[in-house]
Structure 1
Amino acid sequence: MTVIADRPQMLPEEFEAASRALAREVEGLRAEFIHGKMGVKPVPDGDHERIIQWLTRICMQHRPELWLSTGQGLRIETYRKGHARPDGTLADSEAFVGAGEWADPEPVLMALEITSYDTDTDRRDRVEKPRAYAETGIPVYLLIDRDACEIKVHSEPDGVRYEHVLTVPFGKVVTLPDPIGITLDTEPLKSWVR
């Protein structure tokens, strides 16, 4: 028997059914489809959610025409079999109406990730996602890194990587570059880390 290395061990439809079953049976875990195989990771904790609330409020105050969507899947061809689910996507408030579970990333102005306390966060949030979002042309990638207690603002995608990465420790003020143009006082983030 010949083994075909490129063949996924699970089809996307099989993953979706297994993911729904896992959600019904096991509390505290979320399924992910990684390189054709099913994996699990912890669901976001309360501090993770509080950071999203904090950023949502700031975005609404400064850019009310935009919305920070959570849970919206994106078709990112170069990332883990073509799908990514950022912690947040900042886009026009109507950008994902009628889009379904996996939307075109074209209207996304910023992708947001908040590190989780799991073994895959380094590879996923610090290596794979910045590359995939830059290749897709998403103008800004904001990484709130709770392990390092810092924010990384990636901007100026060149189709391969982000040419500019600004690292700011929690407690400092940072301005998200165009097309966002919002200034964040990151002092509150100090309260939402372990």
Structure 2
Amino acid sequence: MAVMALEPQTQEDTLLEGFLALETPEGFRAELIDGEIVVTPPPGGPHEHNTAKIISQLTRNSPVELDVSGHKGLAIPSREKDGTPGRLIPDLTIALGEQDLYGEATSWMSPEGVVMVVEVTSTRAERDREEKRRCYARAKIAHYLLVDRGQQVVTLFSEPEDGDYHATVWVPYGKALALPEPFDFELDTSRFI
């Protein structure tokens, strides 16, 4: 009888396995952000109001066809070489329509081909401002749009390099924010709440 030696699981493997087996209540979402499991309740009305305003402007004003997914799971590289890979669910994930990125995507797809992610802050805004920003930069997502309801500003982060974004443009609510190619239009923030 042959005996097979099993390699012991690392703490990172155990965390990822436990996360993937997690069953959250209906409507809740679970994310694995820099080694921490975060469970959030369904978003409230003001949050969804802002995402709806962004979706309508993206589809109406962009010169290219975009595919917009709400709450698509992304597998994000770890901040450490051998650390636990992240699992984030942006409020919006945007890709070029010609790529058909979501057609064959798994639950936790690679961020390759994603041109922008959007987060609208809720109860733990600091996580969106700091931790998620660095996660999306590590994943080399070209643009991260943050609608900060607490500070009433909209920020576009771009030029991801070395685990963070190196270009930032922000406007207060009510001002237009110029979105670069491939979007190439001014985002109207006057109706954000």
The question of a shared fold, defined as TM-score above 0.5 by the shorter chain, is answered with: yes
Are the counterparts in 1 of residues 33 and 132 from structure 2 also a CA contact under 8 Å?
Answer: no
Please, which moves more after superposition, 106-115 or 35-44? Answer: 35-44
Take 1:67 and 1:186, find their aligned partners in 2: how far apart are those partners? 21
List per-residue Cα deviations over 1:33-66 (Å, max 9, x = no partner). Answer: 4555544323211111111111111111123510
> Are 2:179 and 2:185, in contact at CA under 8 Å, matched by a contact in 1?
yes
Superposition deviation, residue 70 in structure 1:
0.8
Q: Is the 8 A contact 2:34 2:131 kept in 1?
A: no
Per the TM alignment, residue 175 of structure 1 is displaced from its structure 2 partner at its CA by 0.6
Structure 1 unaligned regions, length at least 5: 1-5
The amino acid across from 1:116 in the alignment is S
Distance in 2 (CA, whole Å) between partners of 1:167 and 1:42 is 28
- Aligned partner of residue 22 in structure 2, secondary structure: helix
Deviation at 1:10, TM superposition (A): 5.5
Q: Where does 1:24-63 land on structure 2 (aligned, <5 Å)?
A: 29-34=28-33, 38-63=37-62
Q: Per the alignment, do residues 81 and 108 of structure 1 end up closer, same or farther by CA in structure 2, a change over 3 Å counting?
A: same
Report the TM-score, using the length of structure 1 for normalisation. Answer: 0.80
Give 3-state SS (helix, strand or coil) of 2:170's partner.
Answer: strand
8 Å contact from structure 1 (residues 10, 36) kept in 2: no
Q: Percent identity?
A: 36
- Against the structure 1 CA distance between its residues 152 and 36, is the aligned structure 2 distance closer, same or farther, given a 3 Å change threshold? closer
Structure 1 CA distance, aligned partners of 2:30 and 2:108?
16
2:34–2:78 Cα contact (<8 Å) kept: no
Which has more helix, going by share of residues?
A: 1
Contact between 1:56 and 1:68, CA under 8 Å: does it hold in 2?
Answer: yes
Report how far residue 177 of structure 1 moved. 2.0
Inter-partner Cα distance in structure 2 for 1:91 and 1:138? 10
Larger Rg: 2
> Among residues 4, 18, 24, which one is paired with 2:22 in the alignment?
18
**Structure 2 unaligned runs (5+)?**
1-9
Measure how far apart 1:9 and its partner are: 9.5
